[in-house]
Amino acid sequence: MSAQLFVVATPIGHLDDMTLRSIEILKSVAVIAAEDTRQSAQLLKYYNIATPLTACHDHNESNKINILLERLKNGEDIALISDAGTPLISDPGFKLVRAAQEQGIRVIPIPGACAAIAALSTVGLPSDRFSFEGFLASRSSQRINQLQKLKHETRSMIFYEAPHRILESVRDMAEVFGQDRPVGFAREITKTFETIKKMTLADLVAFIEQDHHQQKGEIVVVVGGATEQQDPGQEQLDQLLLRLLQDLSVKAAAQLAADLTGIKKKVAYQRALELTGKD
C-alpha cells in the first residue's frame, strides 16, 4: 500500500506562516480533508492550490473515516488539515489517524504552526517540562474540579480558552492556583492585534476586566507550575468536611470549613460536593 495520509499544519493567523513543504503536499494529494471547507478554501486560494476539499470535523469524522480509508487503499494520498495550526491539537483528526495506523497506512506529519507551542515559546515561563490541558469545562463547578486536580502540577500548563469564557476561567484559576501564580497570556498570535503578556493571575484578571478587547479572538493561557509537590492540608480538609457534613448541609459545612481553615468557600464547597458524591 503506497498511499499516505499527511497531517499538515496550517497558519494560525498570518498566512505567510505556511511552509513550502506544506504547500507542495497540499498541491500533490488527491483530496484535502478539512475541518471547515469554507475557511480552508481561503487558504488554498491564497496559495493557488486547486486540490478538492472534503469536510472532516467532529460531527462527521466517524462516518467519513471509511470513505477516506477506501480512497487511501485505492492508492490516493490524502492531506488532513484543521482550521488553523496542527491537526489533532484540540481539533478533529484523531479517529482518522488511528484508523489509518490500524490499516497499516503510513501517516506522515508535516510540521508547522501550533498555538500552544508558539505561546509557550514567548511568555517567559519554564518550557523544559510542560503539559497541554486543552479546553477546560464550560461549567464553573466542573472547571474548578479540573483545576483542583492540577493545583500541584509542577510543569507549566497550557490551556486553550474561548473568548466568552476567558474571564471566568482566569478567575477560577486565580482562586484555585492562587492570586500570585505566574501566568502567560497569548491572544491572537500572529494576527493584527496579537497580545502576549506575562503577569500574575490576579493581574491577568484585572487586565481582562479593564480591557474588553482581551475577551476576543483565539486565546492561549500558560500557567506556571506549582512549587510544592503536594498539599499537606488536603487530608485534614477532607476529614474536617466529612465530620461537618454529618451534621450540616453542604453549604453550611463549606462555609464553616472555609472560616476555620482560611481556604476559599468556593473551593471548600466544591470539595464537599465531591465528598458527598453530588457533583
User: How would DSSP label each residue in 141-190?
Assistant: HHHHHHHHHHTT--SEEEEEE-GGGHHHHHHHHHHHH-TT-EEEEEESTT
66 pLDDT more than 60:
yes
The CATH fold assigned to 4-113 is: Cobalt-precorrin-4 Transmethylase; domain 1 (3.40.1010)
pLDDT tens by residue, 124-136: 999 999 999 999 9
CATH class of 116-223: alpha beta
Q: 23 with 47: CB under 8 angstroms?
A: yes
Letter string b/e over residues 216-250, b meaning 16 or more CB atoms within 10 A of that residue's CB: ebbbbbbbbbbeeeeeeeeeebeebbeebbeebeb
Find out whether 11 and 17 touch, Cβ atoms under 8 Å.
yes
What span, in angstroms and rounded, lies between the C-alpha atoms of 207 and 213?
10
With the C-alpha atoms ordered 161, 166, 171, 172, is the resulting torsion angle positive or negative? negative
Q: Residue 109: what residue type?
A: P
* pLDDT tens per residue, range 256-278: 998 888 888 888 999 999 888 86
Least confident stretch, 77-81, 156-160, 184-188, 241-245: 241-245
Query: Global pTM?
Result: 0.80
Convert the pLDDT of each residue in 191-244 to its tens digit: 999 999 999 999 999 999 999 999 999 999 999 999 854 454 778 888 899 999
pLDDT of residue 229: 47
277 secondary structure, DSSP code: T
> CA angle, corner 152, sides to 150 and 154, nearest 5?
100
- b/e 6-21 (16+ beta carbons within 10 angstroms → b): bbbbbbbbeeebbbee
